[in-house]
Structures are given as C-alpha cells and as structure tokens.
Amino acid sequence: MGQPNAEQFAQRAFNLGLLDERQLQDVWASFGSRNVPVGDFVQTLLRRGFMTNYQVERLLKGERSGFFFGDYKVLYLVGRGTFARVYRAVHRETGRVVALKVLRNKFCDDPALFLREGELGRTLRHPNIVPIYEVCSKGRNHFLVMEFVEGRNLLEFVRIRKKLDPIEATRLMIGIADGLRYAFERGLTHRDLKMSNILISSRGDAKLVDFGLAAIDDAVADDSSTDLSNTRTVDYAALERATGVRKDDTRSDVYFLGCIYYNMLTGQPPLAESDRLHRLNKQRFLDVVPIQKLDPSVPLCVSLVVNKAMSLDPNQRYQTPAAMVADLRMTARRLADESSEASGSADAAALRRYASAPADTGRSIMVVESDANVQNVFREGFKRAGYRVLVIADPDRAATRILQDPTVADCVILSAQNLGRSALEVFNALGDNPHTQSIAAILLLDESQAALKSEARAAPRRLVLSMPITLRQIRTLVTQLAPSKTPDAVNE
C-alpha cells in the first residue's frame, strides 16, 4: 500500500475513530487548504495532541486494528513481555488514562489462566500494588485494565542512579514488602519479584505489578517438563529445588525481596547472570557475595536485614513478609535517628514518618464532603487508624468513580451537612444499583435535616446517622460494616 496523501490519511483516521469531525475541521482550518503534504498534516496532529506517534506509524503502514481494545483507545506501547504487551490507553468516553495489559495472540486460544489471575489481582487494593480495574475478554481480545503509573521501573531507576542511599532504599523497601504482606494475608504469593516488576511513580512511591500472573509461567513450565521458559520461573524453581520448599512458599518471595534490597543498596544484582542450565545450579546461590563485603559502607542494621531475607536456609529467613516489614521499620527509625544527628536532613524526617506509619488495615473508605476543614478531620483521623482514604467534594463525581470501579472503597461516608440533598440522592442511588448496593455506606445528617432522614433508604450495611457524633464512633461503625481484611486491624 502506497503512502496516503493528507486527505486519505485524515479519512482513515476518522473512519477508525481516531479523529473526530471537530478535530479534523480544526486542523484543516489551520492550513486554509487540503492540498498539503501528509508530513505537515501529521506533524500538526502530533503537535496538537490529536494523535500519537504510535497511532500515526500504524496508520501510515495501513494497519486497521490494534487501535482500540473495548472502550479504550491505545496511545502507545509501553513494554513487551513473554505473555502480554502493555499499552498506555485512554477511555474514549471519560478520558481516564490507564495501562492495558493485552495477552499476546499466540496465547489467546486458552486465556482462562490469564483471566483468572487477573481476577485475583483485581481483589488487591494497596498503595504499593498497581490496581487492576477490569478484566476484559471478547473474541480473541483478552486484556486487563490497570492504573497507569507515571515513572519508570526500579531496574531503570537504579541503573540511572547507580545505587541508592540506604535511607531511600529502605523507604522503598518498606513499601514493596508491605504490598507483599498485604497480598500474602489474602492468600496470594507473587512468584515474580524482580526489579522490573516494581514501578517507581513520579512521587517516588514503589508499586508492585503482576501479582499472580507468574502462575502462567508455572503452567507453561509444568507443561514442558524440563523446559523452563522464563528466567523468573527458572530463578524461583532453582531456589525451591535448592531449598526443598514447595512452589507457593512465601519465603521464596522473601528471598527475592532481599535480592531487590541488595541490588538497590549496591547497584549490583546478587545472583550472577548465566544461561538457563546454570541458573538451576545451587552453587549460584552459594556464590552470592555478602553485602557487607561487596560494599562495607552499607550500615550494619541494613545488611542484617538483607542477610536474613537472603538466607539460603528458608527456616532462617523471615517467615512472613510482615516480619520483614517490622524489621525494616525498625531499621528505618535507626537510620533516621542517625541521619538526623548527623545532618538533620529532611530525608531522615520523611523516613521516620514512613517508618512509624500504622499498619494497613486493608480497608479503604471514600469520604464525600465539600468543606476542606472537615475533609482534613476525616482524612487524618482515618489514616491514623490505618485506613486508606479517598476524599471527594462532589457527590456526582463520587458516584461516577464508584460505578467505574466498585472496589475503590469498602465504605462510603456521605456528609449531607454541607452537601444537602445531593448527598442523600447519591446514598439512595448507590443502594438501588445492583453493582454498588453491597458497598457499605453511611449518610451523615445535621440535626436540622430530619426531612432528609425520612427519605433515606437505609439497610443493614447502609446507615443514616444524625449529628452530633464523634469520629471514634464513626470509625467503630465502619469497622463493623467493613471488617478488616488483615489479621492485625488497627482499632482505637
């Protein structure tokens, strides 16, 4: 197919839904003519953000597919994996930017495992785990809709920085290990812990990806007997073979947490790269250079955590991610104290706050309130008790968010004191909708709003409360309506 002219290119883009009529008219008007070189036309589209380089290149090649998956328009390719490609995409109606993990064509004949593991990942909501919003399957298109994290993966992050300061490495490690703890307490192991599966957001937070998806690798490895198809499968299989543990033992995840910590602190991976057969050799684990020997500048309190996590004897390792998190927090406080004494650094103060953060209860709440001062009371009060808190001022926007992702909150608190009838309407609408009626909800009314109370459709997990009431009382009710998902819930 030859190179299209500008009008042909525009028509193709319009027919595929990549451009709308208004955008086309805007671009043509800027030229004052349709007799323009296609290169100039394309550059204008790119400059105005109407199309991306990925879309343009595919369209110029005559491609007709791969621009949309369901309701999502692909913006560009982010990365390729063994089983899936990851794209940045945007919802064509709401404009919401997401990441799409799309199963490769050669695995589309049997997508059941991919979809099942996606559903498992969809149950996880933790600040250090990239959330899966949707699991989609139609025809030969099978994909997961996930949060798009602005930033880079930890492998790239460390490659640029060479190695990380112990304070920064420990702060990141607390988040990574706590995400693993949260998943483990819900019955999930990761089995794919490596630097490239941890994203560092533009705010500097660590987020785990691909929870549960390593089972696909295991299935391929099991089917092929001796042919372990992926390096992550080989590393886990080699460790398990060397230590005699079953493949779902969380202590294997703990070992690779230690490897990641080691790599951040030294800038070097502890396990030597080699071919597949050598990866299965126990000697590879025995040849790890102790971190204190490789870099004597690493503080002793830090190297002790690394050594315990990476003990080849699984009984000498941390037995659970929670145990490692506890030691990491203690190490963080020690580093912060030492750094404060030396320089009074802001990094040390931030680390101390991070180290003393309450344990995550596993509960998320949404507070719908327009008054900024009241918002802060709710935010700080629930965060201190280990809740994840989302505050939204507009009831309609809150309802839209919940409809898009019913797992965004375990309980919704709607304050009608300032929002009035709009809070009541959303409270009733969420209860009437079969997709959201199982979400716990509390409607807070002022003493003067008795008329609204008579209109509120309450239920066992949908309460209507009249002020005055204390924040402690509200927290107690939330605990009853949305029980903790972890065994170590924080209650005051």
Give the CATH number for residue 124: 3.30.200.20
CB 435 within 8 A of CB 403: yes
Rounded distance between C-alpha atoms, residue 321 and residue 180, angstroms = 6
Do 287 and 178 lie in one domain? The reply is yes
State the DSSP H helix or E strand holding residue 80, giving kind and residue range, or none if neither: strand 72-80
Q: What is the CATH number of the domain that holds 298?
A: 1.10.510.10
Q: Domain ends where: 147, 166, 181?
A: 147
pLDDT exceeds 60 at position 488: no
Q: What's the pLDDT at 316? A: 95
Any residues with CB less than 8 A from the CB of 292 and at least 6 apart, and which? 298, 300, 303
DSSP 147-176: EPPSEEEHHHHHHHHSS--HHHHHHHHHHH
More confident residue, 437 or 424: 424
Do 296 and 380 lie in one domain? The reply is no
Three-class SS of residue 330?
helix
Rounded distance between C-alpha atoms, residue 382 and residue 328, angstroms = 24
pLDDT exceeds 70 at position 418: yes
What total number of domains does the chain contain?
A: 4
Do 244 and 295 lie in one domain? The reply is yes
CB 195 within 8 A of CB 238: no
The whole-number average pLDDT for the span 245-272 is 92
Do 345 and 385 lie in one domain? The reply is no
Do 251 and 370 lie in one domain? The reply is no
Q: Assess if residue 492 is contained within a domain.
A: no
CB atoms within 10 A of CB 295: 16
More confident residue, 162 or 387: 162
- 313 counts as catalytic: no
Q: Assess if residue 89 is contained within a domain.
A: yes
Q: What's the pLDDT at 1? A: 54
Q: Domain ends where: 301, 324, 355?
A: 355
The whole-number average pLDDT for the span 417-435 is 90
Rounded distance between C-alpha atoms, residue 138 and residue 71, angstroms = 12
Rounded distance between C-alpha atoms, residue 431 and residue 463, angstroms = 11
Rounded distance between C-alpha atoms, residue 439 and residue 482, angstroms = 9
Q: Domain ends where: 18, 37, 60?
A: 60
Q: How confident is the model at residue 347 (pLDDT cuts 50, 70, 90)?
A: low
Q: Tens digits of per-residue pLDDT, 284-326? A: 899 999 999 999 999 999 999 999 999 999 999 999 999 999 9
pLDDT exceeds 60 at position 342: no
Do 82 and 37 lie in one domain? The reply is no
Count of residues for the chain? 492
Q: What percent of the chain has pLDDT over 70?
A: 88
Q: Assess if residue 487 is contained within a domain.
A: no
pLDDT exceeds 50 at position 37: yes
Among the ranges given (69-73, 209-213, 334-338), the one the predictor scored with the smallest mean pLDDT? 209-213
Q: Assess if residue 118 is contained within a domain.
A: yes
Q: Assess if residue 21 is contained within a domain.
A: yes
| Residue type at position 160 | I
Q: What's the pLDDT at 492? A: 28
pLDDT exceeds 80 at position 470: yes
Do 337 and 240 lie in one domain? The reply is yes
Among the ranges given (54-68, 100-114, 309-323), the one the predictor scored with the smallest mean pLDDT? 100-114
Q: Assess if residue 268 is contained within a domain.
A: yes
Q: Assess if residue 136 is contained within a domain.
A: yes
Q: Assess if residue 488 is contained within a domain.
A: no
Q: Which residues are paired to 415 by β-bridges? A: 444
Do 208 and 316 lie in one domain? The reply is yes
Among the ranges given (39-48, 83-92, 265-274, 383-392), the one the predictor scored with the smallest mean pLDDT? 383-392
Do 247 and 302 lie in one domain? The reply is yes
DSSP 121-136: HHT---TTBPPEEEEE
Q: Which two tokens stand for residue 198?
A: 């941890």
Q: What percent of the chain has pLDDT over 90?
A: 49
Pairing of strands 141-147, 97-103: antiparallel
Q: Which domain range does residue 12 map to? A: 6-60
Do 41 and 172 lie in one domain? The reply is no
- From the candidates 40, 110, 165, 192, give the one annotated as an active-site residue: 192
Q: How far is CA 306 from CA 166, 263, 310, in A?
A: 12, 10, 6
Do 43 and 84 lie in one domain? The reply is no
The whole-number average pLDDT for the span 426-436 is 88
Report which listed range, 21-30, 331-340, 380-389, is most confident.
Answer: 21-30
Identify which of 181, 305, 314 has the alpha carbon closest to the alpha carbon of residue 239.
Answer: 314
For the full predicted model, state whether its pTM sits above 0.75: no
CB 88 within 8 A of CB 99: yes
Do 345 and 217 lie in one domain? The reply is yes
Q: What is the CATH number of the domain that holds 413?
A: 3.40.50.2300
Q: How confident is the model at residue 222 (pLDDT cuts 50, 70, 90)?
A: very low
Q: What's the pLDDT at 410? A: 87
Among the ranges given (5-19, 222-236, 271-285), the one the predictor scored with the smallest mean pLDDT? 222-236
